Structure 1
Amino acid sequence: MGFDHVLFIEASQNTQLEELQKEIAKKLQLSSDAGQQDIFNALKTKNIVLLLDNIWEPVNLVRLGIINPYMSDNGSSKAYKYKVMFTTRSEDVCARMEASKRIKVECMEPDEAWVLFKHNVNLAVIESDEKFKKIARQVMNKCGGLPLALQVVGKAMSNRNTIQEWEDILSSLKNSGTEVVQGVQESLLPILKFSYDNLPRNIHECFLCASILQWLRKDDLLELWMGLSLIGDFVNLQQAYGKARHIFKNLEESCLLQYSSDDDNVRLHDVIYEMAVWIASDCGINMNKWIVKEYDKFPDEIASINAENWRFANRVIISGKVELLPILTHQCSDLLCLMITDIHNLENIPGGFFIQMPNLTYLDLSGTPIEELPKSIKCLVNLQYLNISSTEISSLPKELKYLKKLQYLLCRDTKLGKTQRVTHVMCVQEIDLFHFLILSTSNMVSDA
């Protein structure tokens, strides 16, 4: 159609302008650090169409590097073919982007929906009997013509081979009391939750961790799963990785997760993310069960924001620009997992910080500039996993000997010297660690 470049860019709920620029630069084969001016120069005399998929906020096309279509090299007026198309769930975004034409994407008609649904189920099974086909159509109707629901529910049903199983699922969907209505998230989530319920029970928590912490790399997720005892019964790391790959495959085949080999990160649909958050909060009943917060302003004192809610939390994950950790004055008995990661302004951990966390089993302090662990670490008598990688810690406190249940200690890229490592391998033997991992910059020093 006469275009020099057709650029298809996928966005998501929290995509930043810089990330979109990187994607465009990659499509144009520019350097990875190409910015607004580089993209502008590459496109200013070209005919282009830019396709932006799934944007949640208006995108500033000038700051993105997309040119004024009527300006040539010498500033004279010359029209280039210049089209921008985008998809969004917000009419407000359409207005603020000054869209000249809007096309509302309707739900699929029943016949179209049936074709997509059959593509994702075991077709031979549902076409083997008219009663089977009738029940399958009823299940399909509960998806309300939404492609994502049709795909996810269809995949979840692909291994159900009896009429009784399908009737049970249909009854479950009917009892949820919801019909999918386009644009109504609340009605879609219970339907999609069926795909979560259909997962093997032992990987439910794996899915929630991978979905809610979708910025983690695949290897980081493996360590998280191991540390939370979600992967067990393995002899060595190679076997653990094998189990993790099987879990990822199961989640991908269920259309719940996608894996990007380009940056080694997990990908998932925004609605799947919302479903995971909803499930993790006991279907919206306990919104403080998982506290996940990235502080992007500076300075920011966590104590003044949400420390009060920690007493109800099972997981607390914080990152960003933080100077001070809260002084906890109340017992956090339900807190099992605490991740304070990639915080470059945090100078120290308050002396009594860990006193109120008697049941904590997982602690990740990686990527923080802390220089030592406080003596109150000895209070974490149920701790099984401790990650101090990429910190300024140069020695381990003798209080670690009180951590009788510790199974994993990760310390990549720290200032721990050889003498310190030898000393604490001896300490490990004294406290009878089951698994002990001390990792240097490039290799594993000990795996016992």
Structure 2
Amino acid sequence: MVHLKSGAVGSKILLTTRDRKVVEIMKSRHIFKLGMLSEAESWSLFLKSSGWVEEDLGSDYIKVGKVILNRCSGVPLAIRTLGGILYENKKISIWKAIGQSDLWTDESIEDRVFASLKLSFIHLPDELKQCFTLCSIFPKGTKIYKDRLISQWVAHGFINSMNGMQPEDIGSGYFDSLVKVGFLQDPSKDWLTEQLVCKMHDLIHDLSRHILQDEVVTCPPSNMIANHTQRCRYLSTTSCPEKVHRNSFHKAHALFISGGNPKFDKPVKKSSSVRSVVLDYTENTPFPQFTLKFEYIGYLEIHKLGCTKFLEAISSCWNLQSLHLISCNGLVVLPDSIGKLKKLRILEVEFCL
């Protein structure tokens, strides 16, 4: 809504939704129900999203491609995603395998769309699969910053230097590939930070969590002490209860916590599993001491840290490669011990006084 503050008199909001209940709640005056794309429109979108030129495709590719598009039921998301995958996989055998997959057996449009997304994931290169599934930790609708995401991939060991290239440069290529296939969408410059940001379509987000199943947990406060949080790989919570079991994060590889600082029932034990932590607090919050227990943490991002000086003890995080301090009002001093972080490659201090 912030963009409307500079809008001209008479500006209007165009709302799009897949849920009829949203329309009823908004009491919209004019409702337009979009239809599916025709066969010709689907083929045109496929060519545009994939980068193919029809004249360059042989008759076999065109025939199989149109069979696949017919299974997409005229849904743009499914067509764009498979278009990107088919462009990267130029073997006719792969095209035929996708067209003949058993995943297409369901007749409903919703199931066919999900089948197209799942097939797109199956045919992703292995190095992109783990980069994509890490995105499952972000809540739906989250603005994803390209450079920060790449730094998390690096912290998890998903990117290795090769041929003298820096990990960030390789990660940038991975990011572009995920945009190409539609798993990350709408890359643009953030109007406030001028950093490149993107988002995930809700159905793509559902896919990422479906793939990981029990390995990713989105946890409301009431379930933070449940046993399954102690076994998951990625843990995301939008609010923390007053008391959290000290082993709740012990086996997690990545944490995304928003809302408040967790308080533990007992002192937190050291963990060698956690590689990345994002603390998206909504108000000024004391330094999260529990992060110092994560021996191999490589990425730490904190929003709205409520202190004037960062802790000297940060030097104990010897593996820290990326430190991001965002909107930490009052933070005026970084500790001398930060110089002891020999692996630190990226230090971002944004909107801090």
- TM-score tier, shorter chain, comes to 0.7 to 0.9
What is the deviation of 1:310?
Answer: 0.9
Question: Is contact 1:337–1:362 with CA below 8 Å preserved after alignment?
Answer: yes
What is the identity, as a one-letter code, of the residue corresponding to 1:305?
Answer: N
1:128 paired residue among 33, 49, 58 = 58
1:182-215 per-position Cα deviation (integer Å, ceiling 9, x unaligned)? 3x2x442121122223332212232233465232
Q: Which residue of 2 aligns with 1:410?
A: 323
**Aligned ranges 1:13-162 → 2 under 5 Å:** 19=1, 22-28=2-8, 42-43=9-10, 50=12, 52-55=14-17, 89-98=18-27, 103-121=32-50, 122-124=52-54, 127-129=57-59, 131-162=60-91
Question: Is contact 1:211–1:276 with CA below 8 Å preserved after alignment?
Answer: yes
1:259 paired residue among 184, 187, 192 = 187
Structure 1 unaligned spans of 5+: 1-18, 29-41, 56-88, 296-301, 443-448
Question: Is contact 1:225–1:231 with CA below 8 Å preserved after alignment?
Answer: yes
Q: Which residue of 1 aligns with 2:217?
A: 291
Could you tell me how far apart the structure 2 residues matched to 1:202 and 1:221 are?
15
**Aligned ranges 1:152-231 → 2 under 5 Å:** 152-171=81-100, 174-179=101-106, 181-182=108-109, 184=110, 186-210=111-135, 212-213=137-138, 214-231=142-159
* 1:279 paired to 2:211: yes
Question: Is contact 2:67–2:99 with CA below 8 Å preserved after alignment?
Answer: yes
* Compared CA separation, residues 26 and 313, structure 1 to 2 (3 A): farther
1:217-270 per-position Cα deviation (integer Å, ceiling 9, x unaligned)? 23322332222222332899x934423332222122222222121444312333
Could you tell me how far apart the structure 2 residues matched to 1:362 and 1:258 are?
25
**Superposition RMSD on alpha carbons, in Å?**
3.9
SS state at 1:335 partner: coil
What is the identity, as a one-letter code, of the residue corresponding to 2:285?
Answer: P
Q: Which residue of 1 aligns with 2:285?
A: 369
What is the identity, as a one-letter code, of the residue corresponding to 1:24?
Answer: L
1:436 paired residue among 326, 344, 349 = 344
Structure 2 unaligned spans of 5+: none
What is the deviation of 1:306?
Answer: 2.8
Could you tell me how far apart the structure 2 residues matched to 1:306 and 1:389 are?
21
Could you tell me how far apart the structure 2 residues matched to 1:384 and 1:24 are?
39
Question: Is contact 2:241–2:263 with CA below 8 Å preserved after alignment?
Answer: no
Question: Is contact 2:144–2:199 with CA below 8 Å preserved after alignment?
Answer: no
Question: Is contact 2:322–2:345 with CA below 8 Å preserved after alignment?
Answer: yes
Q: Which residue of 2 aligns with 1:336?
A: 253
What is the identity, as a one-letter code, of the residue corresponding to 1:410?
Answer: L
Count how many residue pairs are aligned between Structure 1 and Structure 2: 333
TM-score, structure 2 length as denominator?
Answer: 0.75
Question: Is contact 1:126–1:132 with CA below 8 Å preserved after alignment?
Answer: no
What is the deviation of 1:114?
Answer: 3.3
TM-score, structure 1 length as denominator?
Answer: 0.61
What is the identity, as a one-letter code, of the residue corresponding to 1:106?
Answer: G
SS state at 1:291 partner: strand
Could you tell me how far apart the structure 1 residues matched to 2:178 and 2:300 are?
27
What is the identity, as a one-letter code, of the residue corresponding to 1:311?
Answer: Q
SS state at 1:316 partner: strand
Larger radius of gyration: 1
Could you tell me how far apart the structure 2 residues matched to 1:96 and 1:258 are?
27
SS state at 1:52 partner: coil
